[in-house]
Amino acid sequence: MTGAPSHDVRLEWPDGRTRSMDIREDETVLEGADRVDVALPFGCRTGACGTCTGRLLEVDESDPADAGRDSGAGAVEAAFAYRRRPRALKDRHRDDGYVLLCIASPRVDCRIAVGSSVHAELVENPWK
pLDDT digits (tens, 9 = 90+) for 41-53: 999 999 999 999 9
Q: Which residue has the higher pLDDT, 27 or 115?
A: 27
Q: Give the confidence band of 67 by pLDDT, cuts at 50, 70, 90.
A: very low
Residue 32 lies in a domain: yes
Quick one: pLDDT at residue 71?
Answer: 54
Query: What average pLDDT does this structure show over 26-52?
Result: 95
Query: What average pLDDT does this structure show over 67-75?
Result: 58
Q: Which residue has the higher pLDDT, 2 or 76?
A: 76
Quick one: pLDDT at residue 114?
Answer: 96
How many structural domains are present in the chain? Answer: 1
Q: Which residue has the higher pLDDT, 120 or 36?
A: 36
Residue 91 lies in a domain: yes
Residue 44 lies in a domain: yes
Residue 59's domain comprises: 22-124
Distances (CA, A) of 78 to 61, 72, 109, 127: 12, 10, 11, 37
59-63, long-range: CB < 8 A, 24+ apart? 59/108, 59/109, 59/110, 60/8, 60/108, 60/109, 60/110, 62/109, 63/108
Q: Domain with 71 in it: what CATH number?
A: 3.10.20.30
Strands (E), 6-126: 6-12, 18-24, 53-59, 80-82, 98-100, 104-106, 110-113
